[in-house]
Structure 1
Amino acid sequence: MTLADAFVSKRNNFTAVRLLAALAVVLSHAFYISTGVTESEPLISSTGLSLGGHAVNLFFGISGCLILASWERHPDPLRFALARTLRIMPALIVAACVMVVSGMWLTQLPLTDYLTSSKLGAFLLKAFSFNARATLPGVFESQVPTNIVLMTIWTLKYEVAAYLGVLVFGLIGLTRSRFFYPVALTVCIAAEVALALWPEIAQKHTSLPHFARFGFCFVLGMSAWRFRAYVRLDGTLFLVAIAALATATLFGGLPRALLYPAEIYAGLWVALSPRLPVVGWLQQTDLSYGIYLYGWPISQALQVQWPGVGMPSLVALSMVLAVGAAALSWIMVERPSVRALPRMTAWAMMRATKPIIVAPSQNPSNG
């Protein structure tokens, strides 16, 4: 079976894969929050990336595949922009506001000082612009390694940049070209090699490694969709991908750029393979974004309120509470926002095409 066959069947576990990836991010961050040492996070010593980092790679790979598919089904820039905005911004806005309210209980400052602090407005503005360094006055000032409130939102700006890339390249027709993808992948590989050979570039321009890494994963996903008729869901290839990831985990030494195709292929195989049962209820319930947003502050709050919590308890409680918060976010914010897309698109189209009526000028001499 090819990817094309699997997509035609509309039978998939994408939401389940994203759920597992989001939980992996929570697990990975719990190690850092508990120990205060970045190197304590799983996989970072052997692969150069934490478990959470690899999970984010998978997010970008799946996103590249599905976002390009969405563009090809509906190549309308207005609808595309609205769909992406409605998927990201409402939940982020609500999460930031929830943290401001939660800060009244979490802050070490007197409540009046907290509520009158100018940092509240600054926090919201930074959060809405995907600035992970947004902090709240007196919140997470002790017992945890950092006072950052919404750590994971820093990756959203790269996600938005990838969406803009699909929009621009789609509008000029490059996404339909068979030659665009080999060229784009070559550029991504060249960027990874250059950053490995000249690390001072990454030290001077700290965002470049993230652009290179996330861009590579996103383009891999796009390529999988573009050549879906030729990409086979092969059990042997899946085992090879898993073996490569296991080798890197156990022994290290493999370039990270070699791991990206392996983990993205493995993720697509799990999501689309007919050999695996479909988790039916998850197809209509995507908790991954909510877990991604709330997992970090929940772990931080647990560590602050319960300083003696052990690692197993911190991980278990963080996951359970993050899933609960994500369920509320999905039911109350994300699902209604996604369902509002047709109405919002129709309204925006009506506004865009509404004729402008210019009132005729009156000549004073005519009365």
Structure 2
Amino acid sequence: MTTLAQRIEETGGRASGFDYLRLTLAVAVLLVHSVDTTYGLPANDALFGSWLRPFIRAILPMFFALSGFLVAGSLLRSRGIGTFLWMRAVRIYPALTVEVLLSAFILGPIFTSYTLGQYFSDPLFLRYLVNATGHISFLLPGVFNDNPHPNTVNTQLWTVPFELYCYLTLAVLALAGLKNRRAMGILSIVVISLSLFLYKSFSQSLALTPIGPVSGYLLVASFLAGVMAYLYREVIPYSRPLLWGTLLASLLLLSVVPGGDFLAPLPVAYATAHLGLLNPRRIKLVQGADFSYGIYLYGFVVQQAVVSIEAIPRLWYVNFVVAGLVTSAFAAFSWYWVEKPMLRFKHWSALRRPAPV
């Protein structure tokens, strides 16, 4: 039977499925947030209580599992932990910093209900700039106060600290010998998932049965499960029946099974890796470009801006289309003017020579 490792070789290590999956998940996030930005948090709660719940709750764990699978390969190809962390920083921070600066210095002054003097002197303004470090704040002074989802500039940034935790956890595991002691990774997933299980069991704010948005603990566990799928790629089968089985298990665990979040990371990771290793023909949209990060960074803030413009009807599908078009433009800007140019510096040696013109 074909294994994940053999499938990776068959696709030349560049399966197009990962490109399509990243883009699909990013657009799915935009689609979900078209509801709460347009109608408010009660509508968001109703959405999570509908038949769509398992699909919605699977989006971010799949995002993190996909990242774990691909980043594990990056780790094994890196010359050292320092190089690995540098590559992650180059991929994450420049685009994040530009988004934060654009939100604070351009979008904020346009949409604030404060005077410019009040806006720039408010402590919330400076606190928002700290988002560029991964320490997240959602407020800008006087911005989107009257929106259906009020007082929130970019809720999507809540996952950034957990993404950083993932990279740091993986670096620590690598220093401890993860490459040669793969069982440590599985043990880490169990510990993190158990922590999630206990937290949800004793928390007064979260029910044991999965209902609302996913937790950061689940995202980190899903990331590590993606790492494990890559490290065990030579023994894990690439099986269509296993794909359907893990997809079904993931949806059930993330929606109806009490304590299901504790068990979900491994099936989520397998289903994500399998889908990513599909290799359909690349269309021009995904040839040499990755707009998913830009869509994820700019989607919510653009949706909030669209909702605040009175001339645009407050309908979820209008928000999705209009904000989707504007977000796509910002995502293209982010990729071609920020992310792609910065990738020239992903190797340490690039810092010691002038960048090519």
Which range, TM-score by smaller chain?
A: 0.7 to 0.9
Query: How much does 1:57 deviate?
Result: 0.9
Contact 1:47–1:248 (Cα < 8 Å) also in 2:
no
SS in structure 2 at match of 1:325: helix
Residue identity over aligned pairs, in percent, reads 24
Indicate which of 224, 229, 247 corresponds to 2:229: 224
- Aligned CA-pair RMSD: 2.8
Query: How much does 1:19 deviate?
Result: 1.0
Comparing 165-174 and 253-262, the one that deviates more: 253-262
Aligned residues: 340
Matches within 5 A, 1:136-151: 136-151=140-155
CA distance in 2, matches of 1:14, 1:96: 27
Query: How much does 1:210 deviate?
Result: 3.5
Matches within 5 A, 1:49-64: 53-64=57-68
CA distance in 1, matches of 2:217, 2:52: 15
Contact 2:193–2:221 (Cα < 8 Å) also in 1:
yes
Question: What residue identity is the alignment partner of 1:329?
Answer: S
Name the residue aligned to 2:41.
Answer: 37
Name the residue aligned to 1:240.
Answer: 245
Change (3 A) 1:7 1:338: same
Query: How much does 1:20 deviate?
Result: 0.9
Indicate which of 106, 128, 133 corresponds to 1:129: 133
Partner deviation per Cα, 1:197-233 (whole Å, 9 max, x = no partner): 3235979xxxxx8343122101110110110011222
Indicate which of 86, 90, 94 corresponds to 1:82: 86
Mind listing any 5+ residue stretches in structure 2 that lack a counterpart?
208-213
Contact 1:24–1:51 (Cα < 8 Å) also in 2:
no
Partner deviation per Cα, 1:258-298 (whole Å, 9 max, x = no partner): 44333332222221025x44446515211111111100011
Contact 2:119–2:142 (Cα < 8 Å) also in 1:
yes
Question: What residue identity is the alignment partner of 1:5?
Answer: Q
Name the residue aligned to 1:187.
Answer: 191
CA distance in 2, matches of 1:332, 1:42: 39
Indicate which of 254, 261, 283 corresponds to 1:256: 261
Query: How much does 1:112 deviate?
Result: 4.0
Question: What residue identity is the alignment partner of 2:315?
Answer: G
Say whether 1:4 aligns with 2:5.
yes
Query: How much does 1:150 deviate?
Result: 2.0
Partner deviation per Cα, 1:104-131 (whole Å, 9 max, x = no partner): 2111223343344443322212x12334
Partner deviation per Cα, 1:288-322 (whole Å, 9 max, x = no partner): 11111100011101111136321111112222221
Indicate which of 316, 334, 342 corresponds to 1:337: 342
SS in structure 2 at match of 1:174: coil
CA distance in 2, matches of 1:266, 1:347: 36
SS in structure 2 at match of 1:176: coil
CA distance in 1, matches of 2:156, 2:257: 27
TM-score, normalising length from structure 1?
0.83
CA distance in 1, matches of 2:253, 2:172: 36
TM-score, normalising length from structure 2?
0.85
Name the residue aligned to 1:174.
Answer: 178
CA distance in 2, matches of 1:53, 1:92: 24
Query: How much does 1:51 deviate?
Result: 5.2
CA distance in 2, matches of 1:76, 1:107: 46
Mind listing any 5+ residue stretches in structure 1 that lack a counterpart?
204-208, 351-367
CA distance in 2, matches of 1:310, 1:200: 34
CA distance in 2, matches of 1:130, 1:210: 17
Name the residue aligned to 1:361.
Answer: none
Name the residue aligned to 1:364.
Answer: none
CA distance in 1, matches of 2:297, 2:166: 19
